[in-house]
Amino acid sequence: MNLTVFLQNVLNGLSIGSIYAIFALGYTLVFSILGIINFAHGAVFTLGAYFTYMLMGNAFGFNGLLANLALPIRLPFALALFFGSIAAGLVSVLIERLAFRPLRRKKADSLLTVVSSLGVAVVIV
């Protein structure tokens, strides 16, 4: 194996590992701050990726709103990633307000919050 293949594999591993680290950091923050296990976290993460994909294809992509402008290829992707992340964050806030906050106010059992997060994950998927 030559050095370029090795370095490319190291960079690929670091980039995928950083995505997993961000995902795990989200789980850790939600559990440490709210004290609940949010099984809908993965669904929201996937929904953000789907929003980014749809924005890249339709709004900011080669056939979208920015098609006639001479922009570098990275700018439409950065815009789609930004707005996809904002949309996923808004979905997370909506889930917290509708599914988790009423249960926390009523001091519900932790098993009920787990069932609620599973239900939200099923609805999203």
pLDDT digits 0-9 by tens, 93-113: 999 899 888 988 888 887 888
Q: Could you tell me the residue range of the domain that residue 1 belongs to? A: 1-35
43 and 97 together in one domain: yes
* 85 vs 63, more confident: 85
What is the pTM assigned to this prediction?
0.75
24 and 47 together in one domain: no
79 and 98 together in one domain: yes
pLDDT digits 0-9 by tens, 17-32: 998 998 889 888 888 8
Distance CA 99, CA 103 (A): 7
